[in-house]
């Protein structure tokens, strides 16, 4: 799959193959169009799990993964400590 236009075809193929659920892993195409992915999952009645909360905010069923904002916040804390003289190791 190389374009967001292909998403409709993919979801149609999933239902033709009698898929019962969908796990959406991070990818450039899926990340670029979370609303379209969430809408298609709803349209094709596929319960879906996403790796990011962005998809849930766009209408997806649920996500299971780390909070990217929290990861950046934690990284900033460590960088601050290192810049103040703490050993990185």
Q: What is the pTM of this model?
A: 0.68
Q: Mean pLDDT score of the chain, rounded to an integer? A: 87
Query: Between the CA of residue 86 and those of 74, 82, 89, what are the distances in Å?
Result: 15, 5, 9
With 0-12 / 13-18 / 19 or more C-beta atoms within 10 angstroms meaning exposed / middle / buried, residue 77 is exposed
Q: What is the pLDDT of residue 3?
A: 65
- Give the residue-averaged pLDDT of 79-87: 92
| Cα 37 to Cα 65: distance, rounded to the nearest angstrom | 17
What CA–CA distance (Å, rounded) separates 75 from 16?
44
- What gap in Å lies between CA 14 and CA 21, rounded to an integer? 9
Check whether 2 has a pLDDT greater than 70. no
What is the model's pLDDT at position 46? 92
Q: Show the domains of the chain with their CATH numbers.
A: 4-83 (3.40.50)
Which pLDDT does position 4 carry in this prediction?
64
How much of the chain exceeds pLDDT 70, in percent? 96
Q: Which residue has the higher pLDDT, 26 or 39?
A: 39
Nearest by Cα to 60 from 71, 68, 52: 52
């Amino acid at each position: 799959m190389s374009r967001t236009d292909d998403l409709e075809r993919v979801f149609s193929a999933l239902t033709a193959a009698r898929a019962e659920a969908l796990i959406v892993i991070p990818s450039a195409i899926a990340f670029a169009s979370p609303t379209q992915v969430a809408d298609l999952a709803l349209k094709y009645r596929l319960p879906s799990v996403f790796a990011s909360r962005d998809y849930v905010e766009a209408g997806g069923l649920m996500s299971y993964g780390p909070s990217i904002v929290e990861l950046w916040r934690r990284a900033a804390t460590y960088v601050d400590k290192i810049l103040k003289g703490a050993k990185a190791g």
